Amino acid sequence: MKGRALLAVSVAAAVLVTVVTTAVLLWVEPKLSKAEAIKTGGLAGGAVVALYALWLNDRRRRTEEARHVLESDKVADERFARAVEMLGNGADQVRVGAMHALAGLAWSTPRYKQTVLDVLCAYLRRPFTHEIYTLKADDPDQAFRGQSEVETDEEKDRERSVRLTAQRLITDLLPWGQDTDPTLYHLDLTGANLEYFRLEGRRVGRLTARRTAFYGITNFRDAHFGKPALFSGGSFRGRVDFRGVRFAGGMSLQDVSFDHRLEVAGAEVGEFLHLPPTPPEQVGSLQLVAGTRVKEDPTGWELTGREGATFQHHVEQD
């Protein structure tokens, strides 16, 4: 009904423009023939109709684009639901395929990226342990070297491979280098068992890794954390590489244990730093941004920029 009304208005406007244009031309140019005046007036009226046609085509185009977006969103939602459902499949290859499907969805539909990261993190938070963590916690892959036979559970071996895929996809999805994505994506790995976890060079928002166990080499070199990185109650069973990391939102190492050395050369901490009661075997100094609040005794840590930091708890009682 509305379209018909607009069409009637446009036709009436075209007729009016034609009549007015013809009359004005005959009044301004008396020598102009009536045929020429009517022809020019008709062209002016036709222009009004043409403008209406252009507007109508643009409206149809926008409607079609909106419909296409809705269909794309529906397809993406269906893909996501199917992939999440497949994560509960008993076959490890199906679970790996589901994870790759989720990662592909995150790349093709950026609004899903944080959701996909949440799902992958949730998968890694599922209870899991492996015999090689006991045999060689600092470097699980080495548990098989020098031993003729290492008895492991085949089902656990397959699940380990799936979990390593989840870790790799998390790393791949996070922005780094020349990636212009300004979004800070958050990771919640509370209580997870991670193996050879890598975030080197990645840009992350908040990292929650409370009570998380890190097996093998943990590599965060040159990563940037825009929000707090929380490792409270966690354990690093292998070597840790924090060289060049920027903990702009602060870092908590409260009650964290380090079984091997921690490399922090060039690392920078802002906002706050909560230190563990037992210092690790440290390689390099940790730079503090002016105004950083340091909790617990810094004895055993090589901290630079201390003149701009404030120290709390029993340090203040000395």
Q: Are residues 151 and 17 in the same domain?
A: no
pLDDT score at 4: 62
pLDDT score at 278: 87
**Which residue reads 């690093």 in tokens?**
236
Look at residues 37, 67, 97 and tell me which one is the last residue of a structural domain.
67
Q: Consecutive sets of 10 residues in the chain, 318 residues long: mean pLDDT of each?
A: 59 62 61 62 63 70 64 72 92 96 93 96 96 92 73 89 98 94 96 97 98 98 98 97 96 96 95 92 91 89 84 55
* Cβ contact 211:191 at 8 Å: yes
Q: Are residues 254 and 212 in the same domain?
A: yes
282 within some domain: yes
**Which residue reads 């909560």 in tokens?**
274
80 within some domain: no
82 within some domain: no
Q: Are residues 180 and 53 in the same domain?
A: no
Taking the C-alpha atoms of residue 192 and residue 128, their distance in angstroms, rounded to an integer, is 8
Q: Are residues 23 and 141 in the same domain?
A: no
* Cβ contact 214:192 at 8 Å: no
160 within some domain: yes
pLDDT score at 316: 44
Q: Are residues 157 and 237 in the same domain?
A: yes
Structural domain boundaries enclosing 31: 2-67
77 within some domain: no
> Within a 10 A sphere around the Cβ of 185, how many other Cβ atoms?
21
In the chain, how many domains are there? 2
Indicate the SS3 state at residue 271.
Answer: coil
Indicate the SS3 state at residue 264.
Answer: coil
Q: How far is CA 90 from CA 20, 118, 152, in A?
A: 79, 21, 19
pLDDT score at 176: 94
Q: Are residues 102 and 35 in the same domain?
A: no
Q: Are residues 170 and 48 in the same domain?
A: no
Q: Are residues 164 and 310 in the same domain?
A: yes
pLDDT score at 318: 37
Q: Are residues 46 and 173 in the same domain?
A: no
121 within some domain: yes
DSSP assigned state of 137: T
pLDDT score at 242: 97
pLDDT score at 46: 63
